[in-house]
Amino acid sequence: MKRIQLGNTVFEGENDVYLFGADADTKSTAIVDTGVATDEGRDQLREGLAEYGVEFADVDAIFLTHWHHDHTGLAGEIQAESGATVYVHEDDAEMVAGDGANHKAEIERRDLFERWGVPDEKAEELLDFLGVHDEIQGDSPTVETFADGDRFEVGGVELEVVHLPGHAGGLSGFAFDGEEGRELLAGDALLPRYTPNVGGADPRVEDPLGTYLSSLDRIIRNDFARAWPGHRDPIEDPTARAREIADHHRERTERVLGVLEERGSADAWTVSADLFGELAAIHIMHGPGEAWAHLDHLKREDVVTETDGEYELVESDPDIDAMFENATESAETKQS
């Protein structure tokens, strides 16, 4: 496996594309993710592949970790040049292949601005940003779907699909036997610097925080030797990083409860303003989306009630540990 890093000024920076088969006896060449459909991203990916003697036309298969444009943007273009088969999890297939299936469509379909209490001027700012964002979506490919547990032989390596929803509904990693043992191509389920956004990154996900905590729990239980994320550098202790992110969300839950204790009631936008301050660009969606993910999780735990988008605390002393016990117990089991 070869890692190719691409610049990305739109999102978290340094997209990772993974290449299989360039130096193997097999004639099958595959990549995992593609980067954004910008001139810079396209040139960098062509140059990165060329270092291993590969052109777009040589790619036989493209595996996508999830539907976000910084991971799928060039898939249609590469497919047009090479005839490559593009694979994506069944839950994200429409978002990758469907015309108009994007953030803007989901905002409109789910009335997110109204549900989250986003001010009109901030809503317009976000829509303007997403108009530019959609320009990097690239050409939609024809896709074939995979499901959790499916296995693919690529470049002499067997990839096993590991469904890890939360940040996106179909987000999937790929487990394989690497130099350090069982390793994971993690996509954006696990990042070395940032905590992947939940709630705003894919509003289709039901109970986004609870769903993501279950994915973190799965990563911990597998105790992978190393993880290769969708952005930046490898994660040498995925179990510890997954636990760290779960702890981060536990602390954020406490902060959300603190906002409600102070204010009495609040919508997702108000909570996000208290958590994150002034929001701009994509964070106008990610901020209240993450606040909503925590509020919705608290509602499911009967800690808060919700009326017309306003959340109110009804349990004065909630058992926060119980909400995060799976990831905590998994981590403690691995450490014992």
**Predicted confidence (pLDDT) at residue 246 exceeds the cutoff of 90:** yes
Domain definitions of the chain by residue range: 2-102+138-239
Region 47-58: what's the mean pLDDT? 96
Q: Angle of helix 120-134 relative to helix 103-110, nearest 10 degrees? A: 140
Q: Distance (Å, rounded) from C-alpha 261 to C-alpha 314? A: 10
Digit-coded pLDDT (tens) for 33-51? 999 998 989 999 999 999 9
Q: What is the DSSP string of 77-134?
A: HHHHHH-PEEEEETTTHHHHHSTT-SHHHHHHHHTHHHHHT--HHHHHHHHHHHHHHH
Given 3.60.15.10, 2.30.30.100, 3.40.50.300, 3.30.428.10, which CATH number is that of 2-102+138-239? Answer: 3.60.15.10
pLDDT of residue 16: 96
Model confidence pTM above 0.75 = yes
Burial of 77 (0-12, 13-18, 19+ CB in 10 A): middle
**E-state strands within the chain:** 2-6, 15-20, 30-32, 61-63, 85-89, 143-146, 151-154, 157-163, 172-178, 181-187, 226-229, 265-266, 304-307, 310-313
**Predicted confidence (pLDDT) at residue 108 exceeds the cutoff of 90:** no
Digit-coded pLDDT (tens) for 262-272? 999 999 999 99
Q: Is the dihedral of CA 113, 278, 122, 166 positive or negative?
A: negative
Digit-coded pLDDT (tens) for 114-157? 999 999 999 999 988 887 666 677 889 999 999 999 999 998 89
Give every CB contact of residue 146 below 8 A, 6+ residues apart in sequence.
87, 88, 89, 90, 152, 161, 172
Q: Distance (Å, rounded) from C-alpha 178 to C-alpha 147? A: 22
Digit-coded pLDDT (tens) for 165-185? 999 999 999 999 998 899 999
Q: Supply the Cα-derived Rg of the chain in whole angstroms.
A: 20
Pick left, alpha or beta for residue 220 (phi over 0 → left; psi -120 to 50 → alpha; otherwise beta). Answer: alpha
pLDDT of residue 334: 42
**Predicted confidence (pLDDT) at residue 312 exceeds the cutoff of 90:** yes
**Predicted confidence (pLDDT) at residue 30 exceeds the cutoff of 60:** yes
